Structure formats: structure tokens, C-alpha cells
């Protein structure tokens, strides 16, 4: 079966598969006589817990031929469209005995795209948690950390795996750590205090992608609930990455208006950039990053999340421009001489930071979601936009989500990436993407 055909649309294919399976027409009709009872035996606590979801996702992308990332990722003659159909399985579970609990989160996926079959299997998390008392806990193993208050970005997430601002709520692979947690509660202005300290080793085969090998790193977070405000102080120290400090906060000003913010400071931040001659150089400077955001809910259930992000570790408009120019030169060299050495060098640089979802410095994120409009229960339309304030390029993503069928989630999304030459979103691989995702939870 060829997936290169432009007539093939994986979004419809995903829908067709579900219809053939007879899944979507299943109606959960009310059975009032059963609904008004609760069988306690069904919900008795068990030592084992298993759950997860299966997903089918169809994607159709229009390639922006000639853009930097189409030249880097798709070879000399990028196709005009890319289609992809992916099936994924995410399994989570736990086994508890006494004060110990073993937790796991596994993710596996396989998909066919225009170029062929791809698959992967990852252990996102597997860790042993010990809770001798509600105020004390320790864990050992592979675990994911989500520090910070920002929705799209977390400059203080020093041991977080980088998230995709377009999918910030997805599970991420963790790092192998040992951590210790202590919680205390009080009455008065200071309600809660919690200290979390995590040891993160890096050596061959262990957390290699975190930073320099043969180091033991320490990250600690002190959380306070003070005057109804969540406050975190965060520090990272170790030789795999340079030392960094951060703080964040979150507070409800009214019942429907929340503010949050993060600030991070890295005294010696190392970045690999292109100099004026287009040669890669390693620079070390101090860098400050910060994020300020709001979340607001109107009377008619419109939730707005707006965040401004200054990324001191990001690339300036000029630095990004140099990168895009060098890619163009590399592509021209490949076409004229067959020599792709420069392009391969740019691919390495891309992996070191230029290919991050948002590699620039100044961003504005806005997401508006309207819950259950027109009295349609479990239906949520949303609009998300990410704006690069330096080069004025942006992405806009309208989406529709329906969760009305118990344990099913349907999501339809269309992302439009807009920007001129040498702008972040103008040099992305695709100019748009249509995506249909269907999840079944169990």
C-alpha cells in the first residue's frame, strides 16, 4: 500500500478504521435503573492498577518546499505533501504493597508515512515510591518531572524534559533519578511547605541526553503555599549542565482570574551559535529567562490562557537568520556539487538547539477554549496561537475536542504556520497540518 499518494488522507482513514470497528456508533444510552446505584465492590482498592489508552492518529501536512527545515529533513527533493497514520499504545500501572509502590508508564507507537514504516517503544517512567508517612516520601528509578507554573513553557524546569508547546499536556519520558520529599502543613499565613531534592546521575547509558557524562547532579525545589499563593524556589547544581536558579508563583486574584510567572537565571549559559562568518562557535554568557501568564474564565465558560515568554537561552533573530542562510547555502552546494557536508553540519547544529519547537527569544502564547458551547456537553472548541514577537511569524491552531462517549476522546486540529523567509514559522518544514486523533482509554 502506497502512502505517497496525494489522494490518501490519513485523517479520514483513522475515522474509517473506527467506523469499521463499529466503535463510534456505540451510544451510551442512559440506563437510569443502573445509573442510580454504585457497586462498591467494583471500586475496592486492589494492589494492582492497570490503565492507559490506545490511539490512532492521521496527519496530512503540506510541505513548505524550500524552507530550511524541509531542506534539512526531507532530502534534495522534498515532496509537496506528507501523510502519516500512526497507532500508539500508552500503558500505565502500579503495584502497591505496604509503604512501597512500583509505578510504570510505557509508550509504544508504529506508523506509516510517505517515506515508510517507523516504530518506537519507550519506557517513560518506572520507579519505586516509598511513602513511610504522608509527610515523607522517596522514589528511585525513571521518573518525569514537571516543575514550573507555565502552561506552554517552563524556564525553571531544570530537570524537565522539554515539552511541545502545541501539546503541553502529553506525557513525557523521564530521567533516572533518586528523590526525597518532605511536606509539612501549618495553620496561618504559611499553610504548606514541601522540599523535593532529586539526584540525577549522567554516565554512559544513563541519562546520556541530559548533559555531560560522569557527573552526579542535584536539583531541589522548595514549595510554599503562602498567603494563598503557590511559590517555588528551584536550584540545579552539577557538571552535566551549568548551575541555574529559579523561582515561580501562581495565585488566584479572583475566582476566575489566575496569574502565574517564572524566572530563571543561569550565570554561565553555554550556547552553540553561528558567528558572522557562519562558523559554529561555543559562547558562554549569563542568561535570564522569564515567563508571565494569566488564566481567565468568563461567565460563559471561555477559558483564556495568555503567556509571554522571554527565553534568554534562545537564539536572537540575527542568529536564527544566519542559520537559515547557511542551510540555504548548504542546499545550493548539494544541488550544484553533490557535496552535502555543510548541510550535515547544519543538521548537527539543528539537533543542538536550532530545531527546538521554539528556538527564538520573545514569544506570546494564547489559547482560548470554550467549554460546551450551545449546550453540547463534553464538546470543547479551542484556538491556540504561538507568536514569535521578533520576526512576527506565528502558528494558529483551531481544534475541536469531543469526550462525550465514555472513555473515548476525539480531536480534530488544523495548524497553520505563517511567516516570511528567514522567520521561525516561515522556515518550518510544513506550512500546515491537519490532524485527527482518536483515543480509547481503558
Window 145 to 164, contacts with another protein (CB under 8 A): 145-148, 151
By CB under 8 A, residue 407 contacts another protein: yes
Q: Which stretch binds another protein (CB under 8 A): 25-33, 338-346, 360-368, 427-435?
A: 25-33
CA distance 156 to 159: 9
Shortest distance in whole angstroms from residue 192 CB to another protein:
5
Q: Give the interface size with another protein as a residue count (CB under 8 A).
A: 74
Q: Of residues 308, 310, 368, 441, which one binds another protein by CB under 8 A? A: 441
User: In terms of Cα–Cα distance, which of 146, 219, 221, 139 is closest to 180?
Assistant: 139
Select from 107, 54, 120, 118 the least CA-distant residue to 84.
118
Nearer residue to another protein within complex by CB, 214 or 301: 301
97 binds another protein (CB under 8 A): no
Query: Phi then psi for 26, rounded to 5 degrees?
Result: -65, 115
In whole angstroms, the minimum distance from the beta carbon of 22 to another protein comes to 18
Q: Which is nearer to another protein, 18 or 328 (CB)?
A: 18
Residue where the block lists cell 522540599:
195
Which residue, 111 or 148, has its beta carbon nearer to another protein?
A: 148
Residue 38: CB minimum distance to another protein, A: 4
Cβ neighbours of residue 170 under 8 Å, at least 6 residues apart?
A: 163, 164
Residue 258 vs 340, nearer CB to another protein: 258
Which residues inside 111-140 make contact with another protein, applying CB under 8 A? 129, 131, 133-135, 137
* Cα–Cα distance list, 81 to 7, 72, 420 (Å): 10, 16, 20
Spatial CB neighbours of 397, under 8 Å, sequence gap ≥ 6 = 166, 383, 384, 385, 413, 414, 415, 416
Gap between the Cα atoms of 154 and 307, Å rounded: 11
Relative to beta strand 394-402, strand 136-143 is unpaired
3-state SS, residue 375? helix
Which one, 336 or 377, has the nearer CB to another protein? 377
Q: Say which residues have a Cβ less than 8 Å from residue 295's Cβ, sequence separation at least 6.
A: 151, 257, 258, 260, 303, 304, 305
- Using CB under 8 A as the binding rule, the residues of this chain from 381 to 400 that contact another protein are none
108 lies in the site for another protein, by CB under 8 A: no
| Position among 65, 73, 126, 144 found at the interface with another protein (CB under 8 A) | 144
Angle value at C-alpha 368, between 362 and 372, nearest 5 degrees: 165
Rounded CA gap, 34 and 227, in Å?
45
Grid cell listed for 96: 502497591
The residue to which cell 482570574 is assigned: 257
Is 372 a binding residue for another protein by CB under 8 A? The answer is yes
Looking at the Cβ atoms of 86 and 129, the one nearer to another protein is 129
Quick one: 26 or 341, whose CB is closer to another protein?
26
Contact 147, 163 (CB under 8 A): no
Question: To the nearest whole angstrom, how small is the minimum distance from the Cβ of residue 441 to another protein?
Answer: 4
Which residue, 256 or 348, has its beta carbon nearer to another protein?
Answer: 256
Residues numbered 305 to 364 that lie near another protein (CB under 8 A) are none
Q: Give the residue, chosen from 213, 230, 270, 321, that forms a contact with another protein under the rule CB under 8 A.
A: 230
6: contact with another protein by CB under 8 A: no
258 sits near another protein (criterion: CB under 8 A): yes
- Torsion, Cα 232 237 242 246, to 10 degrees, reads 10
Other residues' Cβ atoms within 10 Å of the Cβ of residue 203: 12
Site for another protein in 54-73 (CB under 8 A): none
- Look up residue 31 and give its DSSP letter: -
Residue 93 and residue 99: Cα distance in Å, rounded?
A: 17
Among 67, 84, 86, 101, binds another protein (CB under 8 A): 101
Assess 220 for contact with another protein (CB under 8 A).
Answer: no
Q: How near is the Cβ of 40 to another protein at its closest, in Å?
A: 6
CB of 287 to another protein, least distance (A): 24
Q: Given the rule CB under 8 A, which of 3-11, 34-42, 381-389, 414-422 is the region that contacts another protein?
A: 34-42
Cβ 28 to another protein, closest distance in Å? 6
Does position 41 interact with another protein (CB under 8 A)? The reply is: no
35 in contact with another protein (CB under 8 A) = yes
CB of 233 to another protein, least distance (A): 15
Separation of alpha carbons 367 and 382, rounded Å: 7
Lookup result for grid cell 517507523? 118
Binding mask 270-299 for another protein (x = CB under 8 A): -------------------------x-x--
Residue 375 touching another protein (CB under 8 A): yes
Place of cell 531544570: 158
* Element (DSSP H or E) covering residue 333: helix 317-337
Amino acid at each position: 500500500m502506497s502512502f505517497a499518494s496525494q489522494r490518501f488522507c490519513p485523517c479520514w482513514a483513522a475515522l474509517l478504521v473506527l467506523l469499521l470497528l463499529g466503535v463510534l456508533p456505540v451510544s451510551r444510552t442512559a440506563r437510569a435503573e443502573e445509573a442510580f446505584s454504585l457497586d462498591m465492590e467494583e471500586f475496592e482498592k486492589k494492589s494492582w492498577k492497570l490503565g492507559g489508552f490506545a490511539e490512532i492518529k492521521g496527519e496530512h501536512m503540506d510541505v513548505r518546499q524550500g524552507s530550511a527545515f524541509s531542506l534539512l529533513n526531507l532530502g534534495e527533493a522534498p515532496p509537496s505533501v506528507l501523510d502519516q497514520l500512526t497507532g500508539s499504545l500508552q500503558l500505565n500501572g502500579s503495584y502497591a504493597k505496604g509503604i512501597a509502590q512500583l509505578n510504570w508508564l510505557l509508550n509504544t507507537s508504529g506508523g506509516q508515512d510517505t517515506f515508510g514504516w517507523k516504530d518506537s517503544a519507550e519506557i517513560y517512567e518506572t520507579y519505586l515510591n516509598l511513602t513511610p508517612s504522608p509527610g515523607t516520601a522517596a522514589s528511585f528509578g525513571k521518573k518525569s518531572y514537571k516543575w514550573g507554573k507555565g502552561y506552554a513553557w517552563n524556564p525553571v524546569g531544570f530537570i524537565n524534559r522539554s515539552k511541545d508547546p502545541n501539546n503541553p499536556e502529553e506525557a513525557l519520558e523521564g530521567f533516572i533519578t533518586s528523590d526525597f520529599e518532605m511536606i509539612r502543613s501549618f495553620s496561618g499565613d504559611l499553610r504548606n511547605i514541601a522540599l523535593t531534592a532529586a539526584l540525577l546521575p549522567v554516565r554512559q547509558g544513563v541519562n546520556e541526553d541530559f548533559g555531560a557524562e560522569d557527573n552526579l547532579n542535584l536539583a531541589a525545589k522548595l514549595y510554599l503555599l503562602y498567603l494563598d499563593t503557590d511559590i517555588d524556589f528551584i536550584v540545579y547544581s552539577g557538571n552535566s549542565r551549568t548551575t541555574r536558579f529559579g523561582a515561580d508563583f501562581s495565585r488566584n486574584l479572583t475566582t476566575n482570574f489566575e496569574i502565574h510567572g517564572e524566572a530563571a537565571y543561569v550565570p554561565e549559559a553555554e550556547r552553540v551559535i553561528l558567528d558572522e562568518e557562519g562558523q559554529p562557535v561555543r559562547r558562554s554568557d549569563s542568561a535570564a529567562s522569564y515567563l508571565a501568564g494569566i488564566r481567565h474564565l468568563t461567565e460563559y465558560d471561555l477559558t483564556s490562557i495568555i503567556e509571554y515568554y522571554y527565553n534568554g537561552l534562545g537564539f536572537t533573530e540575527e542568529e536564527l537568520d544566519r542559520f537559515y542562510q547557511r542551510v540555504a547555502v548548504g542546499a545550493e552546494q548539494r544541488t550544484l556539487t553533490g557535496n552535502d557536508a555543510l548541510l550535515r553540519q547544519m543538521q548537527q547544529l539543528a539537533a543542538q538547539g536550532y530545531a527546538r519547537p521554539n528556538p527564538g527569544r520573545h514569544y506570546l502564547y494564547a489559547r482560548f477554549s470554550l467549554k460546551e458551547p450551545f449546550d453540547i456537553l463534553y464538546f470543547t472548541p479551542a484556538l491556540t496561537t504561538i507568536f514569535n514577537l521578533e520576526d512576527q511569524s506565528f502558528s494558529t491552531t483551531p481544534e475541536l475536542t469531543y469526550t462525550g462517549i465514555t472513555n473515548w476522546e476525539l480531536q480534530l486540529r488544523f495548524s497553520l504556520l505563517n511567516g516570511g523567509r528567514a522567520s521561525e514559522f516561515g522556515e518550518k518544514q510544513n506550512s500546515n497540518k491537519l490532524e485527527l486523533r482518536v483515543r480509547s482509554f481503558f
